[in-house]
Each structure stands twice: as C-alpha cells, then as structure tokens.
Structure 1
Amino acid sequence: MRGSVWSCHRAGMGSMRRIRRIVAGGVAAMFALTACDSGRNTDVQPLSDSDRAAVRQALDAAVATGLPGVQVVVTEGGRDWTASAGVGNIDSAAPFPNHAVVRAGSNTKAFVAAAMMQLVAEGRVDLDAPVERYLPGTVRGERIEGSRITVRNLMQHTSGVPEYLELPELDVDYDVMLTQHHDAADLVQRALSTMPAHFPPGEKAEYSNTNYLLVGMVLEKVTGHPVGEEVTRRIIEPLDLRHTYFPAAGDLGLRDPHPQSYEDDNGARVDVTRLDTTWAGAAGALVSTGEELNRFFTALLAGKLVAPTQLAQMQRDIAPLTNRPAGIDYGLGLARLAVPCDTQVWGHGGSIPGFRTYAGVTAVGRAVTVVANQRPTDPASATALQHVFDAAVCART
C-alpha cells in the first residue's frame, strides 16, 4: 500500500516500522525458473520466443538481487503465459507455484474504485458531493473538514488527509502485527484526530491509504453491506474470479497454491505468510492471482465493469502523485504508469508485508502482473523487479 501506486507504486505499502522499513537483504539468490502456458485460447501466444527469453532474463536478474522468488503472468488474446524464478519456499526450495495465490495489496483500491463508480452510474453516489453527506461527523480534525472534501478528492488522493499508517500504534514488531486485528473506522478516527491535514483539498495529489479506507466506508454506508461483500457481488463474482477474495475475520493464511512470503527484519528474513490484514481493509486487503488480476484490469479497461462515462472519469481525472516517483499519474483508482517504451499502461500495484505486485494493461490489451514474495529491500532489487514488468509490457510481439 504505502510506498507504491505501485502501493500504487513503485515503492512500498506499509508504514509501520516493520512494515515500511526497507532493509538490505543479503541472502544468496536461488535460481529455479519455470514457465507454463495456462490460457484458454490456443490461437494467440503471449510474447514471442525472444521476448519470453528477455523476460526470463529479467526474472533471473531480480532474483539475483536477493528476492526469494518472482513470478510474471502475461495475458494476451485470452491466453496466459507464466514464468517464475527463485523459490516459493526458502526452507523446502519449492518453486514459486503457478496460479499463485498472493496478497494483492493496493490493487484492492482499483476493485473498490470500480464498485464505487458503479454506484456513481446508478446515481447513488455523487463524486463532487462532500464526504460529510455520506459520513456525517466522521471526517474532522486539524484543518480537516468533511464538508470541504469530496468523494472525488478521496478517490484521486487530492483530499490532504493524513496517512493512517503513520499512527504510532501501528509501529509494532512483526510478532504483534501478524495477528493484530484492527477496525478501519477506528484507524481513520485516530489518524484524523491526531494528525493534521497535509494540504487543502484539491491543492495537489498525495498518496494516502486513509483515502481508500474512507472510500470503503462511503461504499458501506450507501449500500449497507461490508466493502468486501459489495466488491465481491459487483466485481469478483461477475468476472468469475474464483481465487480472488477478501479474507474473512480471523483468516490469516492464504489458500493454495501459494508461496510463502517474507520480510526483512534487521537483516533476518521473517516468514509473514500468516497475516491479519484488517489494518489494510479497502486500501489493501484483497487476495488474488496474477491471472485474475490481469482479467480484472482487462475487463475494467475494456468497459465491462464500469459505464463508459465513469470509466472515462477514472482515466481523465488524473494528477501527478507528489509523494511517488515521477511519471505516475493517478486517476480515480487507476494509475497511468510510466514505462520505458512507446505505449500507455493503466493499472495499479501493491506493496504489503510479504508481497510486492505490479499490474497493468497496455493500449493494445496486453495485461501483465509481476509479483515477488518479499518486498524489495534496496534500490537494486526494486529496480530489477520493475524491469521485469517493463520487459513484459514493452515486448513488441
């Protein structure tokens, strides 16, 4: 969530000391490369042999920086191509499993935004209405007024609300964080009551996960259903995404097949596969697979989930994120991502303890998701992981 729009973002999700810290890894790379075609259409093959070789080379380079395992899923013409390097389990040296179930982090925001835009199309939510209309008395604090912040501000990260992940009570050790339950409304209340606004609404765009906890709360207030249930009904079930879900209360593990996931804690690698993600909520709690993230973003950008007027708004109302690397423009739950080739890519990304994901769709409809089972701990590993995504989206054939 936090350091990436690939949180979105090309950087990372958490803000807790153990969640946000980027520490040098220093574990030798293990190379176990696998690849498979898992698609449904035999007429179109994603990427040529030479392009696949380039992607495999990028995967090897990413694992060589110390990441345990990395997987890429490329979907084109209804067919998936999957390649992996490294391992999914350090102890057993098992490979990164195909169809891997992973924590999607801030990709959750795009799912929530799609559901919200359906409500906009139904006339149940007004993007330019103050959030006070939907959550009376909730959005208040030092220089924070719900009557001046619109739903659009929240979805676009132009509200100025502070980052709840900076709360000191979330600055905990992994052994506490892994199983600690949190309530989204309580986290929002504590953040707004203890930290001032960063800027007036609409002045600029600054990525803050608090925005999407609030978007989720608006969605719940309007529909009368928990955000996970509403997103499942509106988005996940219609697309038949059978391995995409919001973990239920007390559900700390991942469904099979899944890799183990890790974090670096002062040079020691910690297994964080079992994790209570209630603190992430509508900002980052979703679980999915590379194939299903590709199907979601493809459907969204093809206009199969959101009406044309609302989809245009998601992509038109963009602003450069001032607290993210240059080149990332954020719309309404979608980001226009900078890549080193002449193509436009829309998507999101995520960073949550144990996983780093990149997801996007090119102008010609190639969808790519990259996932690592440990967040990068230094610029070299972060850059190498980005290069895997770039190699796949920029392939010419």
Structure 2
Amino acid sequence: MFISRNGYFPGGGGAIMELARCRGIAAAIVLFVTGTALASETPTQTQRVQKALDTWLAERSPVEGVTGIAAYVSLGAPGPNIEAFAGKTGRADDDPPVDQNTLFAMGSTSKSFAAAVILKLEAQGLLSIDDPVGKWLPQYPAWGSVSIRRLLDMTSGIPNYSETEFISRSWVEQPKRDLTAEELIAAAYPDGSNNLPVTEGYHYSNTNYILAGLIAAKATGKPYQELVRELVIQPHGLHSTFYSPGTYPPEVIARLAHGYFENTACAEYQPPDCKESWNKPMIGRDVREDSTSWAQAAGGAISNARDVTRWMRAVFEGRVVPPKQQAEWMSMVSTKTGEPITEISEEHPQGFALGLVQGMIPGGPAWFYQGMTLGYRTLYVWYEKDGILIAVQTNSQPNDEANKLSEAAEAIHAAIKAQ
C-alpha cells in the first residue's frame, strides 16, 4: 500500500477533502522557463503546460485532498526546460504558494538511489549483484540464499514490512519515532510469531531495499546515508535532494510541502474481509513533521521536480554507471510472472528492472515510476522516443482509485507535443 507504487496507473503492477480546505489554490501560481527557444514558441508552450497543471489541480483537489502541484519538463540540453507550479503548500490560509524552493517526498522513485549505489559498488569490485544475502547479512539465515539482484527486481519472495500491523501502529501511535533498519526488517522476518506469506515470482516488497541498503553499508563500512550523498547527490548536482534515515532537520522540513494522508485502504496483511484499515486514525493528518525512518532505502528521500528529472535523465542516458552495470540496471522481469523479459509486450505489459519500471501508457511504452508515501506522491515519465522527461509532485496520498496524478503527466506531455 505504501511506497509501493511501481505502476503508472493506480493499482498497476505493485499497486501505485474538501474544496473548502483547499481554498485559494487558484491564486497561487508561479512559472519559470529556462533554456533557449524561439520567443514566439516558448510562451505558447509554457502557457499550455501551465494550463494543464491548473486544470488538473482544480479538478483533483476536492477528490485527492491536494493543495498544490509542481512539475518539471526536461527537454534535454540546451533546453528549453519548463518549470511550473500551481496551488499552495498546505491548507492553512497563510501557507505560501508552491514554488521552486518547495520539496516533496520522493517515495519509491528514490529506490533508484539504492540500485545506483549497489551497481556503483559492483563496478568498483566491492560486491556482485549475484552475491547472496547471507554473504553480507548472515543474521538473516531465512533469506541467506537470496541474491542482491532478486532483492532489487522484487523476486526475492521476502514479505513487505510496510504492510504489517507493527508499522501501522508506529505511524498511528508514534509518528515521530525514528525506527532503525533492523526494526523494519524484524517486522517481516519469520521468527515463529508471524505468518507472513512467502511469495513466488514478482512481489513488491520494501524489505528488499532495506536489506540492499544494509548490504551496501556492510560492503563499504559507510552508512547508507553517506553513500547516497557521495555516489548520487554530489556527483549529479542534486542541490535540492536530501536523504536521511530518520527525522529530517528543520531547514529541510521548512521547505517541505505539508503532506496529507487520505488513504482508507486496508493493508496487504490485514484479513481479506477487512472492513477498516489499521491506518484509519491517520486520515486527514498532516505528516510533514513525522519521521520518515520507516522508509529509508526503500523510499525515504526528499527532492523537487527539477532534481528528479535531472537524476532520472542521467540514469536513462547511461551517465551514472558503466555499460555493464547499465545493462544490469535495465534488465527486467515480468510483473506477471517474475521471469526475465527483454521487452514488454501484450503478454507481459509491464516489466520491473532494478528500481525502475517500464510499461504501456497512452502513447506507447515508457519508463516511469510513481512513488507514494503517507502524504506525498512523485511521478516521473521518460518519453524516450520524444526525448522528454516529465516529473510531477503533489502533497497527498489518496486511495488508488482516486489517484490520478498520471493524468497530470499525460496532460503536460500533450501540451508539449501540441502544435
């Protein structure tokens, strides 16, 4: 249910309010344009993008509980690149408009950080993605034979800690508690007191990426947080991207939009006939100042749309790791069967790579990912054929059926392509 949205549409793959509370959003609109283009073209194009963003916010605010949205359209060097914003950072009358300084939680889009760290360490000869978990983390013998590759492509069979009652109780009862990676893993580890199902084939589990983060730390003797900074954030100039395994410092929180939890769905490990979610007490809560320690390497980063596009373009253009590791990064399994596939097809319409997803969207196949946390969503779409990468971010987590963030990306793409 949480930070497990690898599908473009709500509920796809691993599963991706009032108007009065959002009053004044239409008045808060900011637009920036960078790069070079013919003067006669740029205003028309950027105006279309802004209109798409304004329209989406006006339509979806009452349904999804959002108050603002940010978008960045990367058209490649030298541009033009379009940055647009609509609405406010929260529901209070005096909350400022969303702008270039506003941050949102990345959710599972930052799983790409973990994949990058592991692959860079492999390129340095410090580990192999075919190493078993037991080589690095012998304290988890039940999963000792699972390879790092199977952690990263979600075929490990390891249960998902973020769908357990333990995590829900932490969110509800101790929202500011900083959990350790070991505590997260313990929520899913078979110890005789739980009966979490072991799966075959593809199954989305955030536990995989917590384990991968611990392996990277063990292989280098450095905290995962330091590795993200050294191998991802600094070399790629991600000046508005932050990663912490616990509570973020005040200066980062000050830039973070308020985030609203609006999801009434039951957790995966609640009974099939569940009538009420463990998370019901959280409905409507602003999670901005809550600890994000429950996410960590599985999706705990914070960023803005500009940095998301800068990072993902570097990933897809092969500028992060050497060619051997790039090929490993893009290798997919079918989300239907968990078996390797070379390309998506009618039989296998979605593939999961190492923290990346490819699937069919309106207009054809594309790489994309929608990361969701308790109060935020970040979606990027790489339209490779057009050379366009779009990132959109907003500040709520609604039920899957209400989640239409993909429509914002589609509308922006249509606005860019319109003649």
Tell me the TM-score normalised to structure 1 length: 0.84
Deviation string, structure 1 residues 150-196 (Cα, Å, up to 9, x no partner): 11110000001001113322222756342011111232133112344
Shift of 1:256: 4.2
Q: Which amino acid aligns with 2:373?
A: I
Deviation string, structure 1 residues 17-36 (Cα, Å, up to 9, x no partner): xxx9x9xx444454425241
Structure 2 Cα separation of the partners of residues 252 and 177 of structure 1: 18
Determine the structure 2 residue equivalent to 1:17: none
Asked whether the equivalents of residues 110 and 334 of structure 1 are also in contact (C-alpha less than 8 Å), the reply is yes
Residues paired across the two proteins, number: 372
Structure 1 unmatched ranges of 5 or more: 13-19
The residue correspondences of 1:16-27 to structure 2 (distance < 5 A) are 25-27=17-19
The residue correspondences of 1:13-162 to structure 2 (distance < 5 A) are 25-28=17-20, 29-30=22-23, 31-32=25-26, 34-39=29-34, 41-43=35-37, 45=42, 48-49=45-46, 51-52=48-49, 53-65=51-63, 66-77=65-76, 78-91=79-92, 92-140=94-142, 145-147=143-145, 149-162=146-159
Q: 1:100 to 1:50 in 2, by over 3 A?
A: closer
> Aligned pair 1:222/2:219, yes or no?
yes
> Aligned pair 1:277/2:271, yes or no?
no
Q: More displaced, 68-77 or 265-274?
A: 265-274
Percent of paired sites with the same residue = 27
Q: More displaced, 151-160 or 170-179?
A: 170-179
Q: 1:214 to 1:9 in 2, by over 3 A?
A: farther
Q: Which amino acid aligns with 2:408?
A: V
Determine the structure 1 residue equivalent to 2:160: 163
* Aligned equivalent of 1:348, options 359, 364, 369: 369
Asked whether the equivalents of residues 113 and 228 of structure 2 are also in contact (C-alpha less than 8 Å), the reply is yes
Q: 1:43 to 1:49 in 2, by over 3 A?
A: closer
Asked whether the equivalents of residues 308 and 391 of structure 2 are also in contact (C-alpha less than 8 Å), the reply is yes
Asked whether the equivalents of residues 80 and 291 of structure 1 are also in contact (C-alpha less than 8 Å), the reply is no
Structure 2 unmatched ranges of 5 or more: 263-279, 339-347
Q: More displaced, 114-123 or 158-167?
A: 114-123
Structure 2 Cα separation of the partners of residues 231 and 156 of structure 1: 20
Deviation string, structure 1 residues 322-344 (Cα, Å, up to 9, x no partner): 79xx94421011111432113x4
Structure 2 Cα separation of the partners of residues 3 and 257 of structure 1: 21
Q: Which amino acid aligns with 2:332?
A: D
Determine the structure 1 residue equivalent to 2:183: 186
Structure 2 Cα separation of the partners of residues 166 and 46 of structure 1: 46
Q: 1:175 to 1:131 in 2, by over 3 A?
A: closer
Deviation string, structure 1 residues 190-211 (Cα, Å, up to 9, x no partner): 3112344522xxx411111011
Q: Secondary structure at the match of 1:386?
A: helix
Asked whether the equivalents of residues 153 and 333 of structure 2 are also in contact (C-alpha less than 8 Å), the reply is yes
| CA RMSD between the two structures | 2.9
> Aligned pair 1:331/2:349, yes or no?
no
